[in-house]
Amino acid sequence: MNPLLSMDDVSLSFKAKRVLCHLSFEVERGECFGFLGPSGAGKTTTIKLLTRQLVKDSGRIMLFGRAIEHATNSDYERIGILSDTSALYERMTIEENLRFYAKVRGVTGNNIPTLLERMNLADDRKTLVKNCSKGMRQRSALMAALVHGPELLFLDEPTSGLDPAARAEVHKMLHELNDHGTTVFLTTHDMAEAEDLCHRVGILNEGALVACDAPDALRLRFARNEVLMRLASGRIVRATKDAAGAPAVAEALASGTCLSIHSVEPDLEEVFLELTGREF
């Protein structure tokens, strides 16, 4: 099966500054793909290339099975975008914005009441956007991206500014959308969010892809050669995961005092720092 979208050896420069360097990856239909990287690594630039807000210098970009240069208006009607430039009209209410975007997208907007309920904004639907908090604006912009039921959803920091309850509700909605076949391309600085939502993640550093795999596979790749055993006495015994450590493991198990044993893998945040050497 052909991927829903792909980049093959794509590069882009702004004057003398190289922003993306020979970038290659694929996103399969129905996948939630996380695109991670430090600030300034090129994540938002990549989304702008995939949505034709920018034009590459070289390489090939495919979208819905065709070169992006030949993508049609109907192709883009199948896409929803939440980005740092997502526009809401300040002097319109939340609901008026959603009705407007539904009309622009050529849909009835029958799902608007459900979206408002899911985002806990039903009681605020008549609030002018200019009077909304940052979290309300973010949830409203997400609803605007979803109002036409897109097949492919680009999300650039979708939970930025949200409190934990709203963040959990967004995650639940994205899981449901993904379970029903929506393909999600997600950028985030939240490594726990990426682990929760994404089937695979690509890690970008200084415009180049330095890793691309399932979160668990990346964690295992950077796992330490060590197991930890907690004994009934409270003592922690460390042993290597090889023949040299086998006697210590066997002794702990034979004694009947081993309460737990587990290998030592980093979380995705540790993997990210190992690969990039940088904070988010």
**What pLDDT, on the 0 to 100 scale, is given for residue 103?**
95
Same domain assignment for residues 250 and 157: no
Cα–Cα nearest to 51, from 122, 152, 177, 123: 152
Q: Is residue 44 within 8 Å of 187, Cβ to Cβ?
A: yes
Q: Which residue among 189, 214, 239 closes a domain?
A: 214
157 plus 203 within the same structural domain:
yes
22 and 90 together in one domain:
yes
Q: Are residues 203 and 242 in the same domain?
A: no
- Whether 276 maps to a domain, the answer reads no
**How far is Cα 60 from Cα 143, in angstroms, rounded to an integer?**
31
pLDDT in tens, 139-179: 999 999 999 999 999 999 888 888 898 888 889 989 999 99
Measured between alpha carbons, how far is 144 from 107 in angstroms, rounded to an integer?
Answer: 12
Q: Which structure tokens are listed for 46? A: 């990549």
**Separation of alpha carbons 150 and 259, rounded Å:** 49
Kindly state whether residue 196 falls inside one of the protein's structural domains: yes
The pTM of this model reads 0.84
Domain membership flag for residue 43: yes
**pLDDT tier for residue 85 given thresholds of 50, 70 and 90:** low
> What digits encode the pLDDT tens for the residues 26-41?
999 999 999 999 888 8
CATH of the domain at 14: 3.40.50.300
What is the maximum span of the chain, computed from C-alpha positions, in angstroms? Answer: 72
Strand order in the sheet with 152-156: 79-82, 152-156, 183-187, 32-36, 200-205, 208-213
State residue 64 phi and psi, 5-degree precision: 55, 40
What is the number of residues in the chain?
280
Beta carbons within 8 Å of 231's beta carbon, 6+ residues apart: 237, 252, 255, 257, 258, 259
Q: Which of 4, 5, 25, 32 is nearest to 186 (CA)?
A: 32
Look at residue 70 and tell me if it is in a domain. yes
Cβ-contact 274, 222 below 8 angstroms: yes
**Structure confidence by residue, pLDDT tens digits, 121-136:** 999 999 999 999 988 9
Query: Which tokens hold the place of 51?
Result: 């949505």
Classify residue 277: in a domain, yes or no: no
Rounded percentage of the chain residues whose pLDDT exceeds 90 = 60
Phi/psi zone of residue 65: left (φ > 0), alpha (ψ -120 to 50 degrees), beta? left
Residue 187, C-beta contacts closer than 8 angstroms, at least 6 positions apart: 34, 35, 36, 37, 43, 44, 47, 155, 156, 157
Residues 230-241, mean pLDDT to the nearest whole number: 87
Give the integer Cα–Cα distance in Å for 200 and 89. Answer: 35
Q: Report the number of distinct structural domains present in the chain.
A: 2
One domain, residues 162 and 258: no
* Whether residues 31 and 169 fall in one domain: yes
**pLDDT confidence tier of residue 278, bands split at 50, 70 and 90:** low
- Looking at the structure, do residues 169 and 235 belong to the same domain, yes or no? no
Residues 69 and 204 in one domain: yes
**Tens digit of pLDDT for each residue in 167-225?**
888 899 899 999 999 999 999 888 899 999 999 999 999 999 999 999 999 988 888 77
- Whether residues 209 and 228 fall in one domain: no
Neighbours of 79 (CB within 10 A): 21
CA–CA separation, 250 vs 211, rounded Å?
36
Residues ≥6 apart with Cβ < 8 Å to 262: 227, 228
Is residue 117, in this structure, part of any structural domain at all? yes
Asked whether residue 260 falls in the same domain as residue 178, the answer is: no
3-state secondary structure of 277: coil
pLDDT tens column, 100-115: 999 999 999 999 999 9
122 or 255: which carries more pLDDT confidence? Answer: 122
In this structure, the answer to whether residues 244 and 196 fall within a common structural domain is no
Predicted pLDDT at 280: 46
Q: Domain range for residue 131?
A: 5-214
The pLDDT-based confidence of 63 (bands split at 50, 70, 90) is very high
Whether residues 145 and 62 fall in one domain: yes
Mean pLDDT of the chain: 91
pLDDT at 80: 94
Query: Hey, which residues does 58 pair with through a beta bridge?
Result: 11
Q: What is the pLDDT of residue 265?
A: 77
Categorize the per-residue pLDDT at 263 as very low, low, confident or very high, splitting at 50, 70 and 90.
Answer: confident
Residue 99 pLDDT exceeds 80 = yes
* Structural domain contains residue 219: no
134 inside domain:
yes
